[in-house]
Chain A
């Protein structure tokens, strides 16, 4: 199987843009779609991006996803940061009927 590696934590100021990476250890990042989930403290996760860059209805367009085959990674970018964006973010992908989550990134908006 493969691993998805994310930075443990990132921080940025309100109004700025932050990008969180998710690097696949083996196999191509382009082979199987990547999803991003947001989890606020004490709450269940919610989807903010699916299939690399699709946004579910209700998710603001401040959230965007991308893929970079050269670094075998996917990224989540959040622009116009708001304090409510402070949360844990997880990437997720799959391969051969097995799902994998990244270790999660804690975003601090300060």
Chain B
């Protein structure tokens, strides 16, 4: 059974750093594209980043240069390093498995990141 379990969220001050983790099971992150999608409180879904099987990664303009996606194929875990946090980064962050390079077939339960002074 495919499972994605995020962790690492919490309350942070603006300018701070945080690393989110997404432990995958039932498949290997080495052979799948993986993505992060976020949802601000009461708002819609916003794509954040994707990492390809070869390691190439892409980002939404709103997070470029501040957030970094990576994966550890030994630990079968996806990460999102978040630096220079802003109030507008406050959201539930979902880890997602990508199928066929363009669609999500499995989502995690999400982890809440709150950025506030």
Contacts and interface: CB of A to CB of B under 8 A. Distances in A.
B66 interface: no
Contacts of B107: 44-46
B6 to A, nearest CB: 10
Interface residues of B, number: 20
Interface of B: 35, 37, 44-47, 50, 58, 60-61, 94, 100, 102-105, 107-110
A31 to B, nearest CB: 12
Interface in A54-110: 56, 88, 90, 92, 94, 97-104
The prevalent SS among residues of A at the interface is strand
A101 B58 contact: no
A39 B45 CA distance: 10
Interface residues of A, number: 25
A57 to B, nearest CB: 11
A35 B47 contact: no
Q: Which 10 A-B pairs have the closest CB atoms?
A: A99-B47, A104-B44, A44-B107, A97-B58, A101-B45, A35-B103, A50-B103, A103-B44, A90-B45, A94-B102
Nearest to A39: B45
Contacts of B60: 98-99
Contact of B44 (A44, A51, A90): A90
Interface string A32-46: 110101010000111
A99 B52 CA distance: 13
